[in-house]
Structure formats: C-alpha cells, structure tokens
Structure 1
Amino acid sequence: MSPPSCHQGLPHLNQVGIIHGWALSQMAQNISSQGFPSSWGSFRVGGAVIAGQSPDRSDSAVLGGAWLDQKVPQTVKQHWRTLYSISHSRRRGQPVERDWRQHHNQGVWREVQEERRQESIPRGVCLSMCPIRELQDREAQNLLHRFEVLSGTERERWPRADPSGVVKEYARPAAGKDSTRPSDLRPPAVLLKTVFYLVDNIAASPTLRPWTEVYDFVFDRLRSVRQDMIIQRVSGADCVAVLERTVRFLIYASYRLCGEPLRLYDPRINDTHLQESLSWLLECYTSGKHPNQEEFQALGLLYNLGSSRATQHTMELPERIRSSPVMHLALSVSRAFMERNPVRLLRLAHSLDFLQSCALHRHLVTCRRDLLLIYSHGHSSKNCRFPLHKLSHILALDVPLTNQLCQAHGVEVHGDSVVFSKTTFTEPEAGKLQCAHFHDLVDRKQRDLTVGSIIHGCT
C-alpha cells in the first residue's frame, strides 16, 4: 500500500515494513504540498536534500545517519523520527507482516497436522477383555489357557471358553496382519478393567498354582494391554493407573520368583519390560501432578541403584518431589550405595516398606559382599575376633545364613566369632549363593500383605 502523507496518521509497523527510498520521496512531496516555506530549512535523508536548501550542520539535529534542521516544524521532525525508528526496528529483528503471516501459517499447519494425526489414530470399540473373533479362533484351535476355560469343561476334548475369563493374548506384529482394527482394540476403560481382573482374579488368587504359571499368564496379558495402549496412543489417568500396577507386579515378581529355573522365569526379560514400563510411567508424570508420583520415582531409583541416568533424572525432579519423605529415604540409600557404604545402606534398608525392599533386593548380594570385603581388610588380624551375632545384625540375616555367607567368601567362623583376613577372602563360586536364600530382610516385611494389596498399592 502507499504510505500516507505527513498530515495523515502513520501506518502500523506490521503494515509499513521496511521504509524504502520511494517512501521518503513521497514524504517530501507531502511536505511540499503543505506549503511549508523554505525559510524553515531543510533536512537530509540518505544524501538527498528535502524541502529547501541544505541547512548548516552546526544548527541541525543528527538522527542516526540523517541530520534534521532544527528550524523544521516539530510535526515534520516527529514524522521523520517515527519513520526512522520503524526502519531500524525492522533491522533489529522485530516482526513485520510477512514474518507474522509465516508464523501464523505455521501454527495453522501444525493444528491441521495434529487434527489429521488424531483422526488417523485407531480407537478401540471392543468392550470385552478379549475380541470375539480371537475368542472363537482360540477355542476352535484349542489354544485356551487353563485359566480361561469354562468351569466343568476342563476334561473335554475341546474345552469351551469362559467369556468372562478370556483375556486377549499378546501377538507379535507380522506382515499382512492388521493390528489396528477397532473391533480388536479395547478402549482405555476396558484396558483398566482387564488389569484389575488380572490382579484380583489371577495374580492374587489363593487357589491358582504354581505362581510361575500365574506370572507367565499375567505377564503376557499385561503385555497385550500395553500393546493396545501404544496402538491407540492412550494417555492420561487410565494409562497411569495401568502402568503403576504393571510396575508393581513386575517388581514383586522379581522378588518372589528370584532363583526360579530359567525355563520358568527369566529375570532379564522381566527387567526389560519393567524398565520400559517404568520409563513410560515416569514420562506420563511430566504432564501433571499424580498422587503416586513420589512412590514410583523412589522405586525407580531404588531399582536402578548405581545408575547415573537414574540419579540424574532424580536430581532434575522438582523440589517438592525430591523433598518428600519417601524420596529423601531413597536418595539416602542411593548415596550410601554410590559411596560404597554397605553398613549405612543396610541400616537404611530397615526403614523401607515391602515393595521398596523388593526393588532393592537384587542389590543386596553385592552390598553384603562389599561389607565382608571391607571388614576383611579393616579387621584383618589373627588376634581379632568379631562377634557373629553382631555381624548377623549388620548383614540383616539370621546367624545360620550369616555363617553360610562368610564361608562362601572364605571368611573363617570359629564358634560365635568371625576371623577376618584380607588374604583368605575369596569370591564365591558361580551358583553357590542363591539370592532367594538371603531374603530375610524382605520376607519380614511382607507379613499379612496380600498380593492384591501390594499390586494395588494398598500397603
């Protein structure tokens, strides 16, 4: 658009943009049209003399590369200053209409892309724990788990499915297989209902045995639940509730099934899924406040003692979370572990609750080994006798287990005394020490807690 004359209002910065030479010439013409006498002097812009003769520099005001005669009327001076400031504001990087339009269009484009993305996300419509087509296929192929068979048909050649007990199983993605059909996907509310069923009716059942089979069934069905959540990109409270119970179940299983044969329980696979679920859960916590956030931040730190990544994540948490009692205790345990202070770590471990002790238990073997090594160097003397019962208390073990642990590390035990020697300390043979045999510290805390109350967090 054409710039206005001097007696008109100046256009907005976004409408003016860069002030070019033709704009200044137009202003000069507007000044002349006002009939300003030449005796008012003149001003120079970019080497051009406007409205009269060039004034003497001694009685002119310099305005950043252009000088303005002081005799020029105040109206003209003010217009020039405004135009000059507009030109320099553009050079300082302030937005003009083109930049504003580009920024606006980018925002609109992002909104459109987000709407398209939301429209492309499949939404489940299956209101049962297992899609009807899968139920029929597995029943016809005799692939039902015994926990899913209708009561009274177990001994039949083709057991029938219990519609209220069949749960969708995990299926690996395969070429040509559509896993995004809405009829095969369960909405978030149904997924949460499925998790409650798995916890209350399967994992916490006092009649279903052995627990390794219970674990295998629940583990697979929880994996299927997470798969449905990933496909539908579920978030919010339902997602957090599912992940919290998944993490508790996997932590509890890592303690309860510790020492089981590899064909029945693989700790590496359990650890992989636990780390993935925990990482996903902690990411969900960044979207807002959640009542159980401190609990799971502490569990993540205790489970990953010695991990620089876990420690850094904890240090980046808000002060209100880090200063909570549960996080303060977990940080103290982590610091004792990093400083290789097993005595302090085991002392602090007595203050942990049951599930926190389950998360810590896989580090106890290393902690006790370090304690015996330190004592073997610090009390290495033939004339030094360390009371066995006192060492038992420090290790948080009973006396027979303390005796067994000392002998496995080459530490001599004479009656009620222990003789430490740095020359006799040895590493135990592979498989000689079973972690499951040294769970006293954790076992004492379970007391009357049920599996359901542990996984639901009602301890």
Structure 2
Amino acid sequence: MSGSILGRCSSMCPDKERRFREKEGLLHPFEIVESQKNVKKPEADPQKIIKCYSRSGAGKSMVHDLTQLRPGPVLLSTLRYLFTQIVTRSDVDWAVIYNFVFDRLRAVRQDLIIQRLDVSTTIKILEPIVRFHVYAAQRLCDRSLEDFVPKFNNQHLLECIKELLVKYDERDLESSNLFCSNRAQIETLYLLLYLGESATIERALKLPAEYRKSPTMKMAVKISLAWYVRNYVQVCRAIVKLPPLLAMAAMINLPRIRRDTLQVMSSAYNSTQLCYSGEDLRKLLLYKSTEQLHAECRNFGLDIINENICFQKCKFKVHEREGKLQKAFPDEMLHLFLPKIILN
C-alpha cells in the first residue's frame, strides 16, 4: 500500500520492551517464566510476553523505530495466541483474563493503525476483536466496575465494528459480489447492537442481496424494526431464538428494553386496584428470577403486591437509570463457546 509503514518486530513483544519491563518488574503473571513465579523480578517467557498498550506522548512519534512495530502476520499470530491460550483458561478469574487481553488488543490495534495495513489484513484482525468485546459484555455483565467497565468495553466495540464496516465497504470497491460469511455475521451484530437506530437499519437494507437474504439478518432486521415501533414483546421473543453470539449482542440492549417496557406498561396498565402477573412479566422480559424482576420494578418506583406488579403511571420514575445487564448464559456454557465463538 502506498505510504504504508512496515514493522520489523518478528515476535509478540519487541526485545526493547521485554528488557525494560523485566528490569522494572512490569511483567504480567501470564508472561513470566513458569519456574520464576515467586521471584521478585522474574524473566519474561519469550513465547508468552506480549506488547502492552502505551499512549503516544506529546511530540513523540510512534513510528521512529520500526523494530517496535509488529507486521500483519505477527499481529494475527498474537491474536490467535490470545484467543486460544489466554481467554480459554479456566484456572484464573476471567475478569483478570479480560483486562490483560483488553490491553494487549489495544496494542494490536495501535500497531495496525500506525502501519495502515491492507484491507484484508485489517478485516482479519478486527473481526475476532469485535466478537471478543461482544462476548465480554455478557461474560462480565454481573461484575463490579472495579473488574469490568461496560462503558469502556462498548466504546472499543463501537470503534472496532465501525472501522470494520468501513473496510468492508472499501473491499466492495475492489471486488464486488464477494460474499463472506464472517461479514454477514458482523453486519448482523452491528444491527443487533444498535437496535432501532435508523442508520443501522438503513445500512442493513442497502447491503448486497446475498447478505440481506441471510436468515439471521432477516431476523435481526425484524427485531430492530420491532424495537423501532416499540413492540418490545416481539423483540424479547425473537432474541432468545438467535444463535449465541448474536443473542449476546442483542442482550446488550436488554436493560433499555426492560426500562422502556415497564414505562409503557405503567401507562397501559395504570390502575390502583389491579396488578399484572409477576411470573408472566418475568418470562416476557427474560428475567432469570422473580427476585431480579422485583428489584428492578422497585428501582423504577413500582409496587409489588403478592409477587405481582402494580403499574401506576404517576409512580414510575421516568428519569431513573436503566438497570444492569443480567447474565443470560451460565459461565459453564459461556466457557464452552470459546474459542470457536471468537475465532469463528
């Protein structure tokens, strides 16, 4: 590519960084030599240490030393290592795994951007990163903000998926009518992540026919349109029929769906005498337990009478923040989805 920069680092971490981090004791437990775990300043395992993310300082060029940049093939092998050897570990808290991988992925993207790698390589790098962030949103949704910050994860997810869509469009200009199953999945993820947004629906409807005819894309379009017209019942019923990764993407919207549904029902079922079946509402809004439903209803100012919900428009806290996303899949099932769900 004209004007591109080609890195010369042939390993997952440049030697200069490895020596510096060994000297300063900045190695992650995942990166040290196995026999030196209890040493104060252990050595790095060259097969395990991975370049970490660093901000560019004022006036500091990130391309002054090409030996610090990893070329496309090395970035791809780094991703494969992270997604087969690290995220699949079951002996460590997955929040620890996430924070390590999150940082190393930022460094991968940094090298990618600096070198302005070709469209094909960029797509191969960003696709699994998008899946990782979607997966993490579900896997860690019940953790404290000290372990996992949904806002940061969603921010990086949005950046990656938008850049990926740009690269798909660029590839279309180079070779039209080239169907790709990975793209079909990512385009569907984008639609489900941003339900009801006119721009995402418009993009989906303008895709080449091969993508629009995909069964999952058809279902995603119906879900997004149902959200757009505020048919939340149809949205919830359809989400559970999606394949696991697509369901995880759609469920990022679940707190908003629940809040809006409860607000609508507070007007539609407004009464001081009658109540709505708590069990029916639990199933409708995909709550895993009655306790979760009751806690959220109370959060919005609704009363619980004999485990049923008393909707009163005047009591609903319109400006109350939406609730937290609740895990839809048990950890054991989520773990089984790896690494296939990311490296698809």
Pair in the same fold by TM > 0.5: yes
Q: CA deviation at 1:324?
A: 1.2
In the alignment, which residue of structure 2 is the partner of 1:400? 291
Structure 1 140/324 Cα, relative in aligned 2: closer, same or farther at 3 Å? same
Larger Rg belongs to: 1
Match 2:238 to one of 338, 348, 365: 348
1:420 maps to 2:311: yes
Residue of structure 2 aligned with 1:322, choices 191, 212, 225: 212
Match of 2:105 among 209, 213, 222: 222
Structure 1 distance, partners of 2:334, 2:151, is 28
Does 2:12 match 1:123? Answer: no
What stretches of structure 1 of length at least 5 have no aligned partner? 1-116
Q: Which residue of 2 aligns with 1:153?
A: 36
Q: How many residues align?
A: 335
When residues 229 and 415 of structure 1 are mapped into structure 2, their CA distance, relative to the original with a 3 A threshold, is same
Tell me which amino acid in the other structure corresponds to 1:315. Answer: L
Deviation at 1:262, TM superposition (A): 3.3
Q: Does 1:310 align with 2:200?
A: yes
Deviation at 1:434, TM superposition (A): 4.8
Task: Name the CA shift for 1:426/1:182 in 2 (closer, same or farther; >3 Å).
Answer: closer
The residue correspondences of 1:158-177 to structure 2 (distance < 5 A) are 158-174=41-57, 175-177=59-61
Structure 1 counterpart of 2:343, which letter? H
Match of 1:240 in 2: 123
Alignment of 1:58-69 (within 5 A): none
How much has 1:185 moved relative to structure 2?
2.0
| Aligned-residue offset at 1:328 | 0.8
Number of the residue aligned with 2:327: 439
Deviation at 1:151, TM superposition (A): 0.9
* Displacement after TM superposition at 1:351 (Å): 1.1
Alpha-carbon offset, residue 135 of structure 1: 1.2
- Match of residue 175 from structure 2: none
- The CA deviation string for residues 168-216 of structure 1, in whole angstroms up to 9 with x for no partner, is 112222324452533222221111110011111111111123x222112
Asked whether the 8 Å contact 2:36–2:42 carries over to 1, the reply is yes
What is the percentage of aligned positions where both structures have the same residue? Answer: 32
Match of 1:456 in 2: 343
Q: Which amino acid aligns with 1:454?
A: I
CA distance in 2 between counterparts of 1:385 and 1:264 reads: 39
Return 167-176 or 130-139, whichever deviates more.
Answer: 167-176
Q: State whether residues 411 and 424 of structure 1, in contact with CA within 8 Å, keep that contact through their aligned partners in structure 2.
A: yes
**TM-score of the aligned structures, taking structure 2 as reference length:** 0.88
Q: How far does residue 371 in structure 1 lie from its aligned partner after superposition?
A: 1.8
- Is the 8 Å Cα contact of residues 354 and 445 (structure 1) preserved in structure 2? no
Deviations 1:230-262 (A, max 9, x none): 222212443222111100111112222225443
Which structure 2 residues correspond to residues 97-136 of structure 1 after superposition, within 5 A? Answer: 118=2, 120-136=3-19
1:94-134 per-position Cα deviation (integer Å, ceiling 9, x unaligned): xxxxxxxxxxxxxxxxxxxxxxx73x422123221111222
Structure 2 residue 84 is the aligned partner of structure 1 residue 200: yes
| Distance in 2 (alpha carbons) for counterparts of 1:425 and 1:434 | 14
Match of 1:258 in 2: 141
Q: CA deviation at 1:150?
A: 0.7
Distance 2:5 2:64 in 1: 6
Question: Secondary structure, in 3 states, of the residue corresponding to 2:117?
Answer: coil
Tell me the C-alpha RMSD between the 2 structures.
Answer: 2.5
In the aligned structure 1, how far is the partner of 2:298 from the partner of 2:282?
13
Q: What is the aligned counterpart of 1:137 among 5, 11, 20?
A: 20
Runs of 5+ in structure 2 lacking a partner? Answer: 173-177
In 2, the alpha carbon distance for the partners of 1:202 and 1:418 equals: 45
